[in-house]
Amino acid sequence: MLNILSITLILFVSSYDKSYGFEKIMNKTDLETYNWTKRLLVINLKSQDKEKLSYVDNWLIANKCKIEDRNINIVFFHGRGGSAGRGGGPIQATLRSQPPNSVNGKIRITDQGEVIQQKYGYEPLAKYNLCSYIGAVTAATLNPPPHPKRDWRSLIEKMSEISKNSYRKNINQSSDFIKYFKTVTPHRALGKLSIGSRPSKRKNVDNIKSLRAIPWVFAWTQIRLMLPAWLGSAEALRYSYIKQFRKTLYDMERNWPFFNSMLDMLDMVISKADPEISKIYEEYLADESLKRVGKRLRFQFEVIKDLNKKITPKEIINSRKQFRTSVIVRNIYSEVLNIIQPIVIKKLKTNQNIHNKKFLDDALLTSIAGISAAMKNTG
């Protein structure tokens, strides 16, 4: 029921009791001894703790009658990012992908960072997006998705584990990978942009773990690799495509909105990615050892691209024709910026003239904004 993939859900069980004046953070022990009062109950779930996930899942099912009898509503809180790699995507597909009966006429959602200006900075667009939320909540309430079958859950959990391990292996196994990211992407300049609600780093240290999700996704999008949205997916999809699971895979595609939406977002990311552009950055900024990293990443992208053609339902691929045309039109302008950007980054590294540096900084930030606008859901 809860947390099929690696995400964090926060459940708010209302209502709030003013006499207590606080929120109670729940754990397993608290649930076992829970006193049924009108108190705000917060359950913070993390996918790594499978025992707690299972316990909370069973607790909610076992106490369903108590929850309903006391007229307590469970409200799911979903923090949405702008990119597919951070929970973004069409709101209709997002809510259809929630656990069955979890919307029930309401859901609490946050839009973060640069998405706020993009969605609500212009009044007609703000009205359109708010109406989309209302329509999506209504549709998900009146027509909830089916409960995942046991074999669906078993397969997706295995796929999630394979994908996570592959992703971490790629990032952690070689110091050259991190060096490639720092050398080839414009990640250092992202802290100067007015995006996001927090600093680009958690701490003032120069390592990958200190980076927040926004600059991590944003930087890979700038060089058109879109890596956080697909890295590790090839291994998971290859596993699901073996003969033993193929029938279950096709059943999930047709009948599980959550899985169908995931494939839809993957196809969208693949349509926007253009790994050949990363070669331009390597030409100006990388040495031979780092170029080997880029070559390996491009090979992995071709693998997931081929698997996507085999596995993604044809109706999803065919429905993307107009979208692909739009991307081609935008590429005419964004590719020029992708050629200029690495040249500017290289000049900034070597130019000590303060006057010139200001113009180069402006040029770099302008190119970042232009590529971001072309890619839209950039993170």
Q: Is residue 1 part of a domain?
A: no
For range 360-376, the mean pLDDT? 88
Q: Where in the sequence is the domain holding 14, given as residue range(s)?
A: 8-142
Please give the pLDDT value at position 271: 87
For range 315-319, the mean pLDDT? 77
Q: Is the pLDDT of residue 283 over 50?
A: yes
79 φ, ψ (degrees, to nearest 5): -85, 110
Co-location of 134 and 160 in the same domain: no
Co-location of 221 and 354 in the same domain: yes
26-62 pLDDT tens trace: 455 555 666 655 444 555 544 455 666 666 667 666 7
What is the rounded CA–CA span in Å between residue 74 and residue 100? 13
For range 276-294, the mean pLDDT? 92
Residue 69 exposed, middle or buried by CB count within 10 Å (0-12, 13-18, 19+): exposed
What is the rounded CA–CA span in Å between residue 292 and residue 294? 5
The number of domains in the chain is 2
- Write down which residue in 142, 159, 179 finishes a domain: 142
Q: Which of 4-18, 122-136, 251-265, 311-325 has the lowest mean pLDDT?
A: 4-18
Q: Is the pLDDT of residue 14 over 50?
A: no
Co-location of 167 and 127 in the same domain: no
134-171 pLDDT tens trace: 888 888 888 888 888 999 999 999 999 999 999 988 88
Please give the pLDDT value at position 339: 94
Co-location of 335 and 269 in the same domain: yes
